[in-house]
Every structure is written in structure tokens, then in C-alpha cells.
Amino acid sequence: MRPVLGIESSCDETAAAVLDGEGRILAESVASQEAAHAPYGGVVPEIAARAHLALLPDLVRGVMARAGLAFDALGGVAASAGPGLIGGLIVGSQVAKGIALAHALPYVAVNHLEAHALTARLPGLVPGGAPFPYLLLLVSGGHCQCVAVEGVGRHERLGGTVDDAAGEAFDKVAKLLGLGWPGGPALEQLAADGDAARFAFPRPMLGREGCDFSFSGLKTAVAQEVARHGAGALPRTLAADIAAGFQHAVAEVLADRAQHAMAMIRARATAARLLVVAGGVAANGAVRAALALAAEAAGFALVAPPVRLCTDNAVMVAWAGIERLRLGLADGLDFAPRPRWPLAALAASCHRPADGACAPVPPASGSTD
């Protein structure tokens, strides 16, 4: 297959990448909008959409130039088409569709969650490639779920958060501790100097059937602890102990939930033996360590892609495009981006549910669902 251009613009990272037909990265670029959103303590959708519009054309031209390719040399253009913030999704989708239309290339509307899910199959990450089925634990600022990845377009959500996402909890607790946004990396740094045993914060859902998550009770417990010490900045040692206690609780909960999810996927498919972690929280050392132990205990191997491939990026989008194009799956230029687009909805576009892959479906008239 010829190289594929991928575009990511579903949240606050603007990214473009070109992969060759085997999935080798020819060029990639990520422009973080962190500085633009930081004064507001979170992502502002309108600012994000405008920033994508400003950044994307140069980013795309840049990766094409570094890959040494003209658009006509591509085999397809893939862009995140949901779930995410609609303004950014429209910008990325329109850029991709414009290039596809101008150069008569196939266009792939990539489900951003599927892109995270398929990252583990990029060449070089797992010797011989990650075989289906495997378990995905997606832990980012916007998502927190366990997914049985059974094939391209075939994903079963085994459980997810009933309130906050794990990254959201990190961000909220970091804010309580007076750290900047996004809070995860700063909190991890602070926690490195703390005593995780000083505060026994609750472990929501620990040991509970299934693999749902909940973080709001833990966040409230931290808020109450912080409030007990009165107004004003906390002494650094105290803040570090709280950060370490919180991080330890999250790591323990994630490991416990993953353990349940591994048992669930094994019950569905005895061949499953990989636990893949993705999303920004996968950058956290304590979380990775706890997951590694849980995986080992369950007889699974933990696949933790490099951090730049765990957080939002366009390499995973281009790769998901390649996986789909290899199966003959492409989308019409009338595909409307979807702010909500659960993984389960992808199965509706599959013909052969039993053999581990999707087959192309004829475009449904008048509908993109």
C-alpha cells in the first residue's frame, strides 16, 4: 500500500503524520495547544477549533515535505472524525476531505478510540505484531474504559467510568494542590517526593464485579483533606504526601479494574494475552508499574507504547487508516464528524463478525451511521 497521511484534531493536540504502507513512520508532528488553554484551567472548545485551523495546514505541509512526498503519492488520507470536540473534528475532517478530493484519494473517517486501540499493532511495538484479541485500558483526560479489541471495527466495551475519567481526576486534584493544567505530569512529579502511606484515601470500586471505574469519591476525599488545612497554599511536604496518596489510590484502582477486565476477556477468548494501555495517564510511572504487576499476575504481557504514542497523536490515526484501507474500508466525503461515537457503533459497519476483521459494506444510502 502507498503511504497514508493521518490527521488528529479531536481535542487540544493538532497533529499530522505520514506512515508508509507497512506502518513505518516517515514523518510526524504534534503541536500542543496547552499554553493557549492553560489560563482557563482546561480545554476551551472554541479556542481549540481556531488553533487547529491556524496550525493544521503548515503541519500537514511540513510532514509531507519531511516524508519527501507529494499528495499524489499517497494511498489515502485518514482523520479523526470523532468522538471529540466538534469544532476541531470539523477542521481536521475538512482538511482531510479537501486533500482526498483534490487528489482523488480514499478518505478514512477514523474513530479516535479505535486509533488508540489499534496503536499496539504498529510495527515494532510487539514482536510479530499484537494479535487480536487483546485488552485495551484507555485512560486519558476524556476517556476511561476497558475494551476487548477483537478486530478492526470489532470492539466490546467491558466497562468504563461512571463519573470522571482518570486523567480528569488527576487534573482536578492537581488544581486542588495548586498545580497548573494539565495536572497529571506536575502531580506525578510532586508525588515523587511524597509518602503514599500517610493518607488512606478511598479506592472506589476496588474488588467490585466487572471493570467499571469511579473517581469522584476519591477526588472529594482529597478535597476534604485539603480543606482541613485551611485556606492558602499547602506546605510542600503535605501537598506531596497528598499527591502520592492520591496517585497510589488511582494506580491501585486501575490495576484492580484491569485485573477484572483481563479475567473478562479471557472468559470471552482464551487466546487473549496482552494488556495494552493508552491515553495520557499511561505516561504515569506508578500506574504503569501497578499495571505491569497486575498483568504478570494474570499471565498477560503489558504493552505500554512510548508516551508520545499513548497521548493524542496522528501516527495512530494514520495507522488506523492503514488497517481499514487494507480491508477495503473507506468512507464517503459526506461522512459527518461525530462528537459522540462509541466503539460499539463501529460493528454496524462490519459484515463478518466471526473472523476477526471487518469486511467492506456498501455505503448506506442517505445515512452515515
Write out the residues near Zn ion by the rule CB under 5 A: 140, 312
Q: Which stretch binds ligand KG4 (CB under 6 A): 75-83, 180-188, 224-232, 260-268?
A: 180-188
Exactly one of 20, 28, 188, 252 binds ligand KG4 (CB under 6 A); that residue is 188
- CA dist list (Å): 8 to 4, 56, 58, 107, 316: 13, 9, 14, 14, 9
Q: Write out the three cell numbers for 63.
A: 510532514
Which CB sits closer to ligand KG4, 92 or 167? 167
Residues in the chain: 369
Looking at residue 311, what DSSP letter applies?
A: S
Assess contact for 327 and 351: CB atoms under 8 A.
no
Q: Is residue 312 a contact residue for ligand KG4 (CB under 6 A)?
A: yes
- Tell which one of 150, 164, 171, 225 touches ligand KG4 (CB under 6 A): 171
Angstrom distance (rounded) from CA 153 to CA 226: 44
The beta strand positions in the chain, using DSSP E, are 4-8, 13-19, 25-32, 76-82, 107-111, 134-139, 144-151, 154-160, 274-278, 301-303
Residue 140 interacting with ligand KG4 (CB under 6 A)? yes
Q: How far apart are CA 291 and CA 180, in angstroms?
A: 26
Q: Which residue, 9 or 259, is less far from ligand KG4 as judged by CB?
A: 9
Residue in the shown chain whose Cβ atom is closest to Zn ion:
312
Q: What is d(CA 349, CA 359) in angstroms, rounded to the nearest whole number?
A: 8
Taking CB under 6 A as the rule, which mask of x and - marks residues 257-286 in contact with ligand KG4? ----------------------xxx-xx--
Contact region for ligand KG4 (CB under 6 A) — 23-31, 73-81, 138-146, 331-339?
A: 138-146
182 sits near ligand KG4 (criterion: CB under 6 A): yes
Residues of this chain that interact with ligand KG4 (CB under 6 A) are 11, 140-142, 167, 170-171, 182-185, 188, 279-281, 283-284, 311-312
